[in-house]
Amino acid sequence: MPLFDRKDKSRYASFTRRSLMLTGGMTAVFGLLAGRLYQLQIVNGSEYMTEAEDNRVNQRLVAPPRGTIYDRFGVALASNRRNYRVVIIAEQATDGVETALNEIGKIILLTPRQKERVLHDIAQNKKFAPVPVVENLSWDEFARINLHLPYLPGVQPDVGETRSYPYGEQLSHVLGYVAAASPDDKKGDDDPLLDLPGFRVGKRGIEKEFDRQMRGKGGLSRVEVNAYGRVIRQLSSVPGVPGEDVYLTIDCDLQRFVEQQLGDNSAACVVMDTTNGDVLALASTPGYDPNLFNIGISNEQWHALLDDDHKPLLNKAISGTYPPGSTFKPAMALAAVDNGLADLQVFCTGTLTLGDHDFHCWKKGGHGEVNLHSGIAESCDIFFYEVARRLGIDKMSAAARALGLGAPTGIEMPGEVGGFIPSRAWKLARFGVPWQQGETLINGIGQGYVLTTPLQLCMLSARIASGKALVPRIVHEVGTTLQPRTVPAKLPFSDTAFAAVRGGLNAVTNEVIGTAYAWRIPEPGFEMAGKTGTAQVRRITREERLTGMKRNRQLPWNLREHALFIAYAPVDNPRYACSVIIEHGAAIAHYQVQMARDILLHAQQRDPARMPTAYPAHAAQLVPAVARSGA
Amino acid sequence: MITRPYAIARRTLSYVDKLYEINWGVVLLVTIIACIGFSMLYSVAGASFSPWADKQMIRFVVGFLLMIVVALVDVRFWMSFAYPAYLVSLLLLVAVEIAGHVGLGAQRWITLGPLELQPSEPMKIALVLALARYLHGLSVEDVSKPLRLAIPLIMIGMPAALVAIQPNLGTTLILVADGVSLLFLAGLSWWWIGPTVAAVAAAIPLAWQFVLHDYQKARVLTFLDPESDALGAGWNITQAKIAIGSGGVTGKGFLQGTQSRLNFLPEKETDFIFTNYGEEFGFVGCIALLILFAVVIGYGVQIAMSARSQFGRLLAIGIILNFFFYIMINASMVMGLIPVVGIPMPLISYGGTAMLTVMFGFGLLLSVHVHRQVEIPRHSAGII
C-alpha cells in the first residue's frame, strides 16, 4: 500500500524544496545577525566599552577646606565653622515628607515658610537627592534631632562647612567676604570648583586677593551612578589640597581698638610699623557683617548697605580719596628745605593777593611772622602759599610723588586707588588750559586737585618718621611662603630737611603754639608728633567770606569739611605711624586728633610690633633653637 | 512486508512508547536556552531571583509539563483542535479590543480570573494550527486557486487586523509572516508571490501615510537616526548598542554588566534582555546562543520534513518559523538593525504568556515528531 497518494507526493516534494529555500533564508538571517554582532562587539567594541564606562562613572568634585586668615599673633579672623544641618531624602521618608517635617517641627523651630521651601525643593529634585531642611543649627538642636532620628525616616543629620567671621563687622574691610561665584568670577577662571553648588569664592578684601591660594584644589571622587544619576557606590577618590592659610600683619586687638575709636563715624584709620611698613590696623567705618553674605543676604539688608550715605561697602582706607588738606604741608616743607627755603620768613596777615584773587589763611587775623617751624606747628596757609609759589608745581608734585602719593602703594588688597597728584601736562590735556599759579598755591595746602587715601597718608607719616621709602604690607605669609619684601630705600630728601619737618610736627602736638597741643600725649616717652588737616568739600564764595563763614556744625553733614590727622610716635624713636580721617567730621574741633592720640597711646602701650609673632615661618625657625637650648 | 515505522503508525502507541519517541535533544536545547534566560533575569535583577527569575522558572516548569503533555497527545487531536482554538483566540482578540485594559500604551492584555492573558500570543499558535489544517486539505494546484486562497488570507487577515489596531506592529508582522510562509510552503504559485511582493513594496509609502501610528513612525525615524533624539526615543537603541558592543569578545562576565544593572537599558528584563546577555558574555556568548537557536530550528525543519502528513509538516514548520521570527525580530531590534517593535526573545525574555505559548508550540512540534508516521487523509481537513 502506497504511503502517499500521487497528489501528496507532489506537495511533499514542493514542501521539501521550499523548506530548504526557507532554511537557506534563515541561515542567511543568522549570518547577518552574527555579522552585526561582529561589527558591534569586535569592530566597535572598545568604542562602546568607553561609552558604557562614561555612562557608569560620574566624577564628583569635593570642595577642599578654605584657608584660614590669621592675624600676626595667630588669632583666627576668618575660619571654617561646622555647619550643623538637617537634610531630608524624599524617597526614604516612608511616612511622607510632610509628616517628617511636622515631626521635625516638634523638635526644633520650623516656620511654615521653611516647610514650604523644603516641599518646593523636593518637588524640583530627584527623589533620592538630599534637600536641606534647616542649616546652621546649634549643637543643642542638632543633638536633639539626632536623638529623635529613629522616629524620623528619611531625615539625616549632616555636618557641612561654612565660612565664619567671629569679629563680624570689625575687620570686614580687611577680610572681605565670600559668596557664590558670579559669571564674572568664572570668566578667566576655569576651576571646576566654581560650579560646585554651595561653593564660595572671595569677593572683597583679603578673601578676594588671595582667593586662589585659600581656595585649595578640589578633590575628585569617582562614583558609579545609574541611569537616573543616583550614586551606587564609590569607586575611588583623589583627596583635594586644602587651601593655604593667610597670615596678616594686622594686630586684631589694635584693629578692634581702632574700630571702637572710630565708632559710628564715616571714618578711616591706618596704623603702621614705621620700621618695616607692616600695617597693624586698617579700619574703615561703618563696616558690614561678612557672615550675612555667606548665609545669604536679604534684599532689604543689601539695599540698606547700598543706600547708606556712610558707604559701609567702601573700604575708605584704600579706596576713599580725600584732599589731604594741611596734612600735605609736611611734604611741601621737606621740598622747601631742600630747595633753599629753610630760612623762609613770611608775614601772615590772613590774606594773600595774587592777581585779582585773594587767598585766605584759616586764621582770620593772620599769624604774623611765620617761619618753617611755626608754619607747620600753626599750619599757616599763607606760609605754604609762599612756599608753593616759590617751589612751583613741578617740584611740589615731584616731592609728593617721592613720598609715595599719587600712586597705589601696592598693598595686597583689591580695590586700592592711587589718589592724585596733578601736573602741568595733565592739566593741559584734561582741560586744554595751561596750569595757573593760583592752582599751585591751593595745591600747596593740600587742596585743589590733590587727592590721597588714608593709607597713603599713613605711609607719608611713616616715611617722614623713618626717612625711608616704606611700603605698606598687610600680608606676612601665605601658607609657609613669605610675602616678598624689599629693603626700603632712603628717601631723596636731606637729613636737615627731615630734622626740620620732624621738629615742626613735634611742635604741632607738643608746643603750645601747635594746632593739636590740647590733644598731645602727656605720658613721658609716649609723645607723638603729628599734623592736623581739614579738607574743604565745597567752594567758599566771596559773599560768604564777607557776611561771615558758616560754621561746620551749621552745615548739612555732607557739606562739612573732612577732618584729617597724621601722626607718629614716639617722637624720639618712632615706631608707630597713624592716619585718621573722619568724613565731614570737622564739626567738633579735632575729634580725629583725640582718636589718633588714644590709638597711638594704646599701640605704644600694647606695643604689638615688638611682641613675638605667631607666624609659622618664624615658628619653624624658632623650634630647633628652642630644642637645642633644651638639650 | 510491513516496515516498522509503518507498523508504529498503525498501532496506537502507549504513552511510555510516546515518551520514548519524544525528541529529547530538542527538549534539552530548549531547557538550556531557558536556563540562560533565568541567569539573565537573575543578573538584571541585580543578582536576585526575585522579582523575575523565580517566577520565570515556575512558568518554565509549568510550560515544560505542558510541552510534554502536548507532545503525547495525538497529532490528529491537534488537528481537530485547530479551528476551535483559532476561533477562541479570535474571540479573545475581539474581547481585548472591547474590554482589555491599556498596558504600555496599547491594548494587549485581558484579565481572565487570576490570569493576565495577552491573546495575541496564543493566536500565533492557533493561526499556524488552523492554516496547517486548512492547507492539509489542498493539493499544490488547489492552493493557488483564488477561491481556495481567499479563505486562508481571511484567516490571516482577521487576527492581523485586530492585533494591528491594538496597536501591536511586531505581532502583526509575525502573524502575517507565519501565514504567508505557510502558504508558500503549501506550494503557492510564484505567479501569486511575485506580484504580491511588488504590490507590498508599492504600498509601503501609503502605509506610512495612512496606517502607521505616530509612535510607530517615530520608532522608524528614530531607528534611521538614533542620535537625533539621543535622550528620548533614540535612547533605547543607543543604550542597547552600547550594552552589546561593550561586551567585546568575551563579555564583562556574569553579573558584571553595568548597562542593565544601572538601569541604562529600558525593558531590560523583557524585550531588551539580549543586550544584557551580549554585555556579560560578549561575542563568544552571543554566537553560542545563536548556534543553540539554529540547532533547535534545524531540528524543527528536520521534524517537519520527516512528518508523513501535510498537517504535521506545516504545523512543525509553522511553529519553528514562528520561533525564528521572534528571534530574528528581537535580535535585529536590539542590535539596531530594524526599528523597535515590541517582540520578546523567546525562552529568555520575562513574560508568562509568551513562555507558555512557546512551550505549547514546542509541545506541538514534539507531537508532530512523536506522531510523524501518522497518516491523515486529505479530506479529513474538512471536519471540524
> pLDDT at position A136, please?
80
Give pLDDT, residue B107: 56
- The answer on A289 and A217 residing in a single domain is no
pLDDT of B319 strictly over 60: yes
Distance from CA of A50 to the nearest CA of B (A): 8
Q: Please say if the pLDDT value at position A622 is more than 50.
A: no
Distance CA A88, CA A92 (A): 8
Closest-CA residue of A relative to B2 is A1
- H or E, element range at A197: none
Write the residue in B294, B301, B310 that is nearest to A8 by C-beta: B310
> Is A18 contained in some domain?
no
Cβ contacts (< 8 Å) between A225 and chain B: which residues?
A: 262
> What per-residue confidence (pLDDT) applies to A625?
40
**Backbone phi, then psi, for A345, in 5-degree steps?**
-120, 130
CB contact (8 A) between residue A30 and residue B283: no
pLDDT band at B303 (very low <50, low <70, confident <90, very high): very high
Grid cell digits, residue A207: 578673601
Residue B95 burial (C-beta neighbours within 10 Å; 0-12, 13-18, 19+): middle
Mean pLDDT is lowest, of A230-234, A476-480, B40-44, B90-94, for: A230-234
Domain boundary among A221, A248, A275: A248
Cell numbers at A439, concatenated: 592752582
Paired sense of beta strands A346-348 and A279-285, if any = unpaired
A493 lies in some domain:
yes
pLDDT band at A1 (very low <50, low <70, confident <90, very high): very low
Based on the fold, state whether residues A196 and A281 are members of the same structural domain: no
Contact B248 A18 (CB under 8 A): no
Chain B interface test: which of A19, A20, A29, A53 (most B C-beta within 10 Å):
A19
Flag whether residue A235 sits within 8 Å of chain B, measured between CB atoms.
Answer: no
Q: Please tell me the distance from the alpha carbon of residue B229 to that of residue B284, in angstroms, as a whole number.
A: 31
Q: Is A17 on the interface with B (CB under 8 A)?
A: no
Residue A281 lies in a domain: yes
From the list A359, A413, A357, A411, the residue with the least C-alpha distance to A386 is: A359
- From the list A30, A40, A46, the residue facing B335 with the nearest CB is A40
Give strand pairing partners of A278.
Answer: A473
For residue B331, the chain A residues in CB contact (below 8 A) are 33
Q: Pick B249's closest partner by Cβ from A11, A41, A56.
A: A41
Mutate to test the interface with A, among B246, B327, B368 (most CBs of A within 10 A): B246
A41/B297 touch (CB, cutoff 8 Å), yes or no: no
- Cβ–Cβ gap A41/B243 under 8 Å: no
Q: How far apart, in whole angstroms, are the C-alpha atoms of residue A455 and residue A279?
A: 9
Facing residue for B301 by CB, picked from A19, A40, A42: A19
β partners of residue A477 = A247, A482
- Per the DSSP assignment, residues forming a β-bridge with B116 are B111
Least CB–CB distance from A47: residue in B187, B245, B258 = B245
* Other Cβ atoms within 10 Å of A622 Cβ, number: 12
Q: Which residues of chain A make contact with B189, given a CB cutoff of 8 A? A: none
| Cell numbers given for A499 | 630734622
- Give the type of residue at B363: G
Nearest chain B alpha carbon to A19 = B185
Q: Could B245 and A44 be called an inter-chain contact, meaning their C-beta atoms sit closer than 8 Å?
A: yes
Closest Cα in chain A, distance from residue B252 (Å) = 10
Domain assignment of residue A217, yes or no = yes
Exposed e or buried b per residue across B234-247, where buried means at least 16 C-beta atoms within 10 angstroms of its C-beta? bbbbbbbbbbbbbb
Inspect the interface and report whether the beta carbons of B305 and A15 lie closer than 8 Å. yes
**CA A360/CA A353 separation, integer angstroms:** 9
- Count of CB atoms within 10 A of residue A435's CB? 19
* Residue A134 placed within a domain: yes
Residues of chain A with Cβ-Cβ distance to B279 below 8 Å are 52
Is residue A29 predicted with pLDDT exceeding 90? yes
Cell numbers given for B97: 479590543
- Whether A178 and A258 map to the same domain: the answer is no
Residues A324, A221 share a domain:
no
**By residue range, what is the domain housing residue A351?**
252-302+318-610
> Is A515 within 8 Å of A532 (Cβ atoms)?
yes
Who wins on pLDDT, A24 or A146? A24
* Helix (H), strand (E) counts: chain B: 16, 3
- What's CA B359's distance to the chain center, in Å? 10
Nearest Cβ partner for B305 among A16, A32, A53? A16
pLDDT of residue B155: 94
Which residues on chain B are in Cβ contact (under 8 Å) with A3? 6, 308, 375
A535 bridge partner residues: A562
One domain, residues A271 and A378: yes
Searching chain A, which residue's CA lies closest to the CA of residue B313? A15
Identify which of A130-134, A282-286, A356-360 has the greatest average pLDDT: A282-286
CB atoms within 10 A of CB A620: 10
* Same domain? A221 vs A265: no
Catalytic annotation, residues of A:
326
For the residues B105-117, what does the mean pLDDT come to? 61
Q: Is there a domain that residue A19 lies in?
A: no
What ipTM did this prediction achieve? 0.91
Among B181, B185, B245, beta carbon nearest to A41 = B245
Q: Are residues A513 and A540 in the same domain?
A: yes
CA angle B354, B357, B360 (to 5 degrees): 150
Cα dihedral A116→A121→A126→A131 (10° resolution): -90
CA distances from A6 to A451, A493, B133, B194 (A): 123, 135, 19, 28
What is the pLDDT confidence band of residue A34, given thresholds at 50, 70 and 90? very high
Phi, psi dihedrals of residue A339, rounded to the nearest 5°:
-115, 30
Residue with more model confidence, B152 or B210: B152
How many residues are recorded in chain B? 384
Is residue A327 domain-shared with residue A371, that is, in the same domain? yes
A8 to chain B, closest Cα gap in Å: 7
> How far off is chain A from B213, nearest CA to CA, in Å?
28
Is pLDDT of A577 > 60? yes
Confirm or reject contact between A550 and chain B (CB < 8 A).
Answer: no
Residues 109-148 of A with CB under 8 A from B: none
All residues of chain B having their beta carbon less than 8 Å from the beta carbon of residue A45 are 245-249, 283
How close, in Å, is residue B206 to chain A by CA atoms?
A: 27
Q: Which residue of B has its CA nearest to A10?
A: B140
Point out the residue among A29, A40, A232 whose CB comes nearest to the CB of B262. Answer: A232
Kindly identify which residue of chain B lies nearest to residue A18, measuring between CA atoms.
Answer: B185
Rounded percentage of chain B residues whose pLDDT exceeds 90: 48
> Is residue B63 left, alpha or beta, with left meaning phi > 0 and alpha meaning psi from -120 to 50?
alpha
The stretches of A125-251 forming alpha helices (DSSP H) are 139-148, 172-175, 183-186, 205-209, 211-215
Q: What angle do CA A319, A323, A329 make, to 5 degrees?
A: 125
**Percent of chain A whose pLDDT exceeds 90:** 46
Instruction: Output the nine-digit C-alpha cell for B230.
Output: 539621543
Mean pLDDT, range A587-607, rounded to an integer: 88
A454 contacts A320 by C-beta, under 8 angstroms? yes
How far does B19 lie from chain A, in Å, by closest CA?
A: 25
**Interface touch A7/B286, C-beta < 8 Å:** no
pLDDT of residue B269: 84
| Predicted local distance difference test score (pLDDT) of residue A501 | 94
Residue A120: CATH number of its domain: 3.90.1310.10
CB contact under 8 A, A52 and B259: yes
Distance between CA atoms of B281 and B289, rounded to whole angstroms? 10
Buried b (16+ CB within 10 A) or exposed e, B3-37: eeeeebbeeebeeeebeebbbeebbebbeebbebb
Q: How far apart are CA A67 and CA A477, in angstroms?
A: 12
* Relative orientation angle of helices B273-306 and B234-246, to the nearest 10 degrees: 80
pLDDT exceeds 60 at position A623:
no
CA dihedral B192, B194, B199, B205 (to 10 degrees): 150
Write out the H or E segment, with its range, that includes residue A603.
helix A591-606
Chain A residue with minimal CA distance to B5? Answer: A3
Cross-chain residue pair A49–B248, CB shorter than 8 Å: yes
Examine the domain organization and report whether A569 and A603 are in the same domain.
yes
Asked if the model's pLDDT at residue A297 lies above 50, the reply is: yes
Q: Is A23 on the interface with B (CB under 8 A)?
A: yes
Contacts of B140 in chain A (CB under 8 A): 7, 10-11, 14
Q: Minimal Cα distance from A20: which residue of B?
A: B301
Q: CA separation (Å) from A37 to A33, A214, B328? A: 6, 54, 13
Q: Do B246 and A18 touch (CB under 8 A)?
A: no
Cβ partners under 8 Å of residue A159, min gap 6? A82, A83, A84, A85
What is the percent of chain A where pLDDT is above 70?
92
CB-based contact A48 B245, cutoff 8 Å? yes
Interface touch B264/A55, C-beta < 8 Å: yes
Q: Residue B82: name the closest of B314, B369, B339 by CA.
A: B314
Counting the structural domains of chain A, the total is 2
Residues A323, A243 share a domain: no
Q: Are B248 and A232 inside 8 Å of each other by CB?
A: no
Distances (CA, A) of A508 to A373, A500, A503, A575, B339: 9, 13, 9, 19, 96
* Interchain pair A55, B242: CB under 8 A: yes
In terms of CA atoms, which chain B residue is nearest residue A36? Answer: B335
Which tens digit of pLDDT belongs to each residue from A305-342? Answer: 888 888 899 999 999 999 999 999 999 999 999 998 88
Judged by CB atoms closer than 8 Å, whether chains meet at B258 and A55 is answered as yes
Q: Cβ A228–B375 below 8 Å, yes or no?
A: no
Q: Is residue A439 part of a domain?
A: yes
CA angle A437, A442, A443 (to 5 degrees): 90
* Range in A112-116, A325-329, A349-353, B178-182 the model is least confident about: A112-116
CA B202 to chain A, closest CA, distance in angstroms equals: 23
Per CB-CB distance under 8 Å, the chain B contacts of A29 are: 324, 328
**Maximal C-alpha separation, chain B:** 72
Query: Are the Cβ atoms of A19 and B243 closer than 8 angstroms?
Result: no
Q: The sheet that has A57-62: what strands, in order across it?
A: A57-62, A219-225, A231-238
Whole-angstrom CA distances from A247 to A76, A615, A618, A620 are 9, 7, 12, 15
Close Cβ partners of A480 (under 8 Å, ≥ 6 residues apart): A616, A617, A620
Mean pLDDT of B104-128: 73
Residue A394 belongs to domain with CATH number: 3.40.710.10
Average pLDDT over residues A532-540: 81
Would A84 be classed as within a structural domain? yes
Element (H, E) at B110: strand B106-112
DSSP H helices, A203-280, are 205-209, 211-215, 252-262
Q: Quote the CA–CA distance of A90 and A62 in Å, as a whole number.
A: 24
CB contact under 8 A, B245 and A8: no
Q: Do the Cβ atoms of B345 and B326 come closer than 8 Å?
A: yes
Instruction: State the pLDDT at residue A216.
Output: 87
Instruction: Tell me what pLDDT residue B2 has.
Output: 44
Residue A222 · residue A236 · CB < 8 Å: yes
Shortest CA distance to A467 belongs to which of A439, A436, A489, A443? A489
A142 and A286: one domain? Answer: no
Looking at the structure, tell me whether residues A257 and A231 fall in a common domain: no
Predicted confidence band of residue B276 (pLDDT cuts 50, 70, 90): very high
pLDDT in tens, B180-213: 999 999 988 888 888 988 998 888 888 888 777 7
